[in-house]
Amino acid sequence: MPAKRDESSPADQLVDLLVYAPVGIALEAVDNLPKFIERGKSQVTLGRFVAKAAAKKGGSTLETLGERVAHEAGQVLVDLFGIDLTPSNDVAEPEQPSQGEPSNDDTLPIANYDSQAAAQIVKLLAQLTPAERDLVEAHEQNNRSRVTILRKIEQLRANE
């Protein structure tokens, strides 16, 4: 239970702030640093993917991409702090492109991604980094939403 500020002197508060807080932060960082680094890499890679897609699709898609970015930012809050800001019944579904128009997959880590069957992609997922799997997951959710691929990514993430 934290002590009340009224009970400690300004000198004690200064020692807490300048000595004990940095030591506590350093100890927590040692335990969680690899997790923070991997999550940061994943988010930067996903951000680059979204930026490339936005540049290629133009202004008409910016609203949908903005919703996606907002969703990812919300996921960071859930992952790091356990804060879920998603409304329970008011979640918009992403627009699905027509099956006749394969999306541009040159930013994905699997060559010719959109032309491959789910079974072929599932075999390759274990070879990818978590950040690359995040790219594949985002692409799959925004396009064909193949359950086989999405479940395999979840399984691999759980085993990390």
Q: What is the mean pLDDT of the chain?
A: 75
CB 64 within 8 A of CB 35: no
| Same domain assignment for residues 56 and 17 | yes
DSSP 8-state secondary structure symbol assigned to residue 46: H
Using DSSP's 3-state secondary structure scheme, residue 57 falls into helix
The count of domains in the chain is 2
| Same domain assignment for residues 68 and 106 | no
| Same domain assignment for residues 83 and 104 | no
Final residue in a domain of this structure, among 63, 87, 111: 87
Percent of the chain, pLDDT > 90? Answer: 9
- The string of pLDDT tens digits covering residues 42-61 is 888 888 887 777 666 665 55
| Same domain assignment for residues 110 and 69 | no
| Same domain assignment for residues 136 and 102 | yes
Please, what's the b/e burial string for 99-116 (b: 16 or more CB within 10 A of its CB; e: otherwise)? eeeebebebbbbeebeeb
Residue 146 lies inside a defined structural domain of this protein: yes
DSSP 8-state secondary structure symbol assigned to residue 97: P
Residue 87 has pLDDT above 60, yes or no: no
**Dihedral angle of Cα 60, 64, 67, 69, to the nearest 10 degrees:** -80
Final residue in a domain of this structure, among 53, 87, 121: 87
Please tell me the predicted confidence (pLDDT) of residue 77: 65
User: How far apart are the C-alpha atoms of 14 and 18, rounded to whole Å?
Assistant: 6
Final residue in a domain of this structure, among 87, 116, 136: 87
Residue 82 has pLDDT above 80, yes or no: no
Please tell me the predicted confidence (pLDDT) of residue 80: 63
Please tell me the predicted confidence (pLDDT) of residue 125: 92
Q: Containing domain of residue 36, as a range?
A: 7-87
Residue 9 has pLDDT above 70, yes or no: yes
Residue 92 lies inside a defined structural domain of this protein: no
Average pLDDT over residues 144-158: 88
User: How far apart are the C-alpha atoms of 80 and 40, rounded to whole Å?
Assistant: 11
Residue 95 has pLDDT above 80, yes or no: no
Q: Is the whole-model pTM more than 0.75?
A: no
Residue 93 lies inside a defined structural domain of this protein: no
| Same domain assignment for residues 111 and 149 | yes
CA dihedral over 40, 41, 46, 49, signed as positive or negative:
positive
* Farthest CA pair distance, the chain: 71
Please tell me the predicted confidence (pLDDT) of residue 6: 55
- The string of pLDDT tens digits covering residues 68-81 is 777 677 666 666 66
| Same domain assignment for residues 82 and 27 | yes
